[in-house]
Structure 1
């Protein structure tokens, strides 16, 4: 494939968002901004402006007498931008625009599924180009909000990005977010890694797949509409994530919450993208599963109070642990389960092979079962 990639390992499961009262998020999908009580994608901008000028908001001081440390940091910013920005592209659809990352020298570009939406053809503008190049869809995997598109006639000199090791992402690392916010191509903002291991549920609608994604990287680098699909980069010039979500404040009718953005980690990106390119589909999701089909359970007051099992896969993790149709799951480990969505969120923070205690009710009695999680099967 001729794509350089560091070895990657899954990030350890970490803290989840503290709930809808703590923050919200919005998915900014093609042609629309969907404000929700959950999260907001930094998705496609509905604007049509396509500035060819570069906009760098790195935030380093440029006073007439900077310190030596300031000079070194500024030099590092500029070196990383020069190395990585040529690998970040602008993607245009009939309904909006977003960003993408050059994945290999064959013309494959990885981006968010919500940037692609229902489109199958695209215009791609390289960082050093002014004319949009034609591209077509390779495959999309909405469950992880990732997709790959391919340039019809890849030009020479493509610059594939180098992806970092997700296990080495740490709090406080400086990050640069690259993409096309509001249609301003080749823009860069800076921040730090402010959390790891976040589990985030995207809102549905407006082109958003509504995916629940685990192990996301939280960053203070500004992420705006149009940034989705762009690169979150460390000062070694490695892509550590794809810019995907921006948090919102429900109390202010979905206004942006400054300094809280989320990126899908490099390990997930490379795993999913490699499968989409090779097979046109995902055969190993890397996501934990119980091997059941479930729906939200409502109590006598019609309030959500768990997840009812409506089908159990033969030989799957739940079946092996003795769970049955009709059981109502109320807790995964220490995490309460109040609905199907909260069950999905709890599982997204875990990895296949993990052994967890599942608390459930059967015939009005609370019970527990130790379940070794399997892998989510894809169609």
Structure 2
């Protein structure tokens, strides 16, 4: 009979890791939506922003069968992180670790379904450096898992083989993505303090237009008290470059207007009635 001691030890270790993480997990119920969250700090729960309904009550369901209403402390759609506040300090907070697992490492997804813990085993199918989401959020590491994520498990904790909570599971285009612990700590801390993440603001409504030598962004509307107007730009001007980087589309421009852009002075190249003009524009903070 083959020696199964190694497999038995692995099984016991996985079960112990799940049992240790489970008390920090809750089910997040919003309008026609079921997801998972975890207690980040006493009275505060982190979950996946995209799982929350835009309106209606949000309730947390706990393993003991109780439920509690929450308020939204803040949310950031660019990193898919939302912070919820509930009454009570009696639920254990998860301890997040800052490590990034290597390619091929085992990972454990721990979630909550109707308040009850659920788990799945996965492998790290991609492990790479920092990246920027399509919505312009800065993510500290690119971690993918070779498993599909149920809707009710989105927002759950991802553990490494040592049982350390390395991040939050969210749905990616093809596989499960992990929002790493470093990103959660950075964003959730700002949401706790400010309720939002600052984003850059030009104060102009733009429309991409095709030019003879590339693309431009025509100013269709202007906030008269916004940064673009203060810099001297006018409705009808066509922006062709920022800091000598040619305009490459609205998505690329929005990615440049992240939290670190607020207060920065950029050189704007534009066309006015076909003639080149330049402006120094101080990026503002997007209104709430």
* 1:10-39 deviation digits (Å, cap 9, x = unpaired): xxxxxxxxxxxxxxxxxxxxxxxxxxxxxx
- 1:140 is matched with 74
Residues 294 and 340 in structure 1, CA contact (< 8 A), matched pair in contact too: no
Cα distance, 1:332 vs structure 2: 7.6
Residues 175 and 193 in structure 1, CA contact (< 8 A), matched pair in contact too: no
Residues 294 and 307 in structure 1, CA contact (< 8 A), matched pair in contact too: no
- CA spacing shift, 1:333–1:137, aligned 2, 3 Å: farther
3-state secondary structure, aligned to 1:178 = strand
Cα distance, 1:311 vs structure 2: 5.1
Residues 228 and 243 in structure 1, CA contact (< 8 A), matched pair in contact too: yes
- 2:51 is matched with 115
- 1:150 is matched with 85
Q: What is the TM-score when the length of structure 1 is the normalising length? A: 0.57
- CA spacing shift, 1:85–1:188, aligned 2, 3 Å: farther
1:299 to 210, 215, 227: 210
3-state secondary structure, aligned to 1:101 = strand
* 1:118-154 deviation digits (Å, cap 9, x = unpaired): 345333223x43x141222133324443322233455
Residues 215 and 249 in structure 2, CA contact (< 8 A), matched pair in contact too: yes
- CA spacing shift, 1:87–1:307, aligned 2, 3 Å: farther
Residues 50 and 77 in structure 2, CA contact (< 8 A), matched pair in contact too: no
- CA spacing shift, 1:150–1:314, aligned 2, 3 Å: closer
Residues 90 and 185 in structure 1, CA contact (< 8 A), matched pair in contact too: no
- CA spacing shift, 1:134–1:290, aligned 2, 3 Å: closer
3-state secondary structure, aligned to 2:21 = helix
Hey, what's the Cα distance between the residues in 2 that align with 1:179 and 1:366? 56
Residues 174 and 191 in structure 1, CA contact (< 8 A), matched pair in contact too: yes
- CA spacing shift, 1:98–1:171, aligned 2, 3 Å: same
Cα distance, 1:242 vs structure 2: 2.4
Q: What is the TM-score when the length of structure 2 is the normalising length? A: 0.71
For structure 2, list consecutive stretches of 5 or more residues without a partner in the other structure: none
Task: Check if 1:169 corresponds to 2:100.
Answer: yes
Cα distance, 1:361 vs structure 2: 4.3
Hey, what's the Cα distance between the residues in 2 that align with 1:146 and 1:355? 25
- Note the aligned Cα RMSD (angstroms): 4.4
- CA spacing shift, 1:81–1:367, aligned 2, 3 Å: farther
3-state secondary structure, aligned to 1:79 = helix
Cα distance, 1:92 vs structure 2: 1.6
1:214 to 113, 120, 138: 138
How many matched pairs? 278
Report the structure number with the largest CA radius of gyration. 2
- 2:3 is matched with 65
Task: Check if 1:244 corresponds to 2:205.
Answer: no
Hey, what's the Cα distance between the residues in 1 that align with 2:100 and 2:265? 26
1:252-263 to 2 correspondence within 5 Å? 257=174, 260-263=175-178
Structure holding more strand per residue: 2
- 1:343 is matched with 253
Residues 180 and 226 in structure 1, CA contact (< 8 A), matched pair in contact too: yes
Hey, what's the Cα distance between the residues in 2 that align with 1:132 and 1:242? 24
